[in-house]
Structure 1
Amino acid sequence: MGSLSPVVQLAMELVDSDSKDGENDELVTKVALKLARQSRHRVPPYCEDVVSRYFDFEFKRLFRLSRDTLDELVARFEASSFYPSALGGRPQISAEKTCLIALAYLGHQCCMYSLADRFNIAESSVQTCVDRILAFLNAISEEAIAWPNDEEKERDKAGFLARSSGKGVRTAQHHRLR
């Protein structure tokens, strides 16, 4: 009975009790079976077996990053507070797998169901992975995105005006047609 979910175990105990009400037993059993977590049939370990075999150009085409950049991202994500420690239940999704799932989702037009099937996780876990990576990237965005200060803006403006000979873009003039 160790492999059954706690919900199913509780339902079995309720049904096994000396209850004479068979209708309630049937209802309890149906509810328990609906609530019990069921594993779906999915692609064998894609992340663990297939991703490591991609050539570098394939990897970059599929995930939009080089392996070295991914390794840096994974290390930073794993050290951050956005990567939770294991709390029990199903095995924790690794930091690398979390990053790959989010990159695949953000870099291509594929649905969460397809990613869940490919990475052998639930659809809700795909959403959780994407949410965690987006929150992490948002938190570190100030390190990568730098807006120009006033001095840099003036320098860029002067450079643009020098190249364009000081003239702006002419707009279409409106003339009355006869």
Structure 2
Amino acid sequence: MDGSATSAKRAAMLLLLDSDSSESESSSTDTRDSSDSDSDAKACAYEREFNKLFRIPAKRPKVVGFIEDVVRQYSDHKFRRLFRLARPVAEKLVAEFAVSSMCPSSTHGGVQAKSAETHVLTFIWYAANKTCMRDVASRFDMSESTV
């Protein structure tokens, strides 16, 4: 965790503890000693919950170069078996999608847009196989929200 994230975490913890301790200011000094151990326990509980809620998400492993290294090497028979349509039909769909207005361009900045081939083959794979979005995203090296 970098320094700014750590300091933000500490600030949030202090705010939580401060709001909790302001409610108990009216208690007597005799109970303050026992409340110190209570506040330590609460601080630990708050920190555990904070860590659960605001942890940095783990990176999911993805297949890099699946289309380039694997799909393009498939025989026509294997391509048809896995994608449930002939390779020339898929190539025609890719070509038509590439010139359509629905094909994302890479002129918007940020991460470079996926190719028309990637979009079409991702959809065909999802439609042709009984698989979840997570598997498709992992296989085609994209996020689940892109699928």
Report the TM-score range of the alignment, normalised by the length of the smaller protein.
0.5 to 0.7
**d(CA) in 2 for partners of 1:77, 1:35:** 39
Seen in structure 2, the aligned counterparts of structure 1 residues 35 and 104 have a Cα distance that, compared at 3 Å, is same
Do structure 1's residue 122 and structure 2's residue 122 form an aligned pair? Answer: no
Question: What is the CA deviation profile of residues 78-97 of structure 1, one whole-angstrom value per residue up to 9, with x for unaligned ones?
Answer: 10011121222222111001
- Residue in structure 1 matched with residue 91 of structure 2 by the alignment: 71
> Alignment partner for residue 122 of structure 2, among 101, 105, 108?
101
- Residue in structure 2 matched with residue 23 of structure 1 by the alignment: 11
- Residue in structure 2 matched with residue 47 of structure 1 by the alignment: 67
Gaps of 5+ in 2: 16-49
**d(CA) in 1 for partners of 2:58, 2:109:** 17
Gaps of 5+ in 1: 1-8, 17-21, 127-178
**d(CA) in 1 for partners of 2:135, 2:98:** 25
Q: Work out whether residues 103 and 116 of structure 2, in 8 Å CA contact, stay in contact via their aligned partners in 1.
A: yes
Question: What is the CA deviation profile of residues 111-164 of structure 1, one whole-angstrom value per residue up to 9, with x for unaligned ones?
Answer: 1111111111111111xxxxxxxxxxxxxxxxxxxxxxxxxxxxxxxxxxxxxx
**d(CA) in 1 for partners of 2:117, 2:56:** 29
Return the TM-score normalized by structure 1.
Answer: 0.51
Seen in structure 2, the aligned counterparts of structure 1 residues 83 and 36 have a Cα distance that, compared at 3 Å, is farther
Q: Work out whether residues 62 and 141 of structure 2, in 8 Å CA contact, stay in contact via their aligned partners in 1.
A: yes
- Residue in structure 1 matched with residue 131 of structure 2 by the alignment: 110
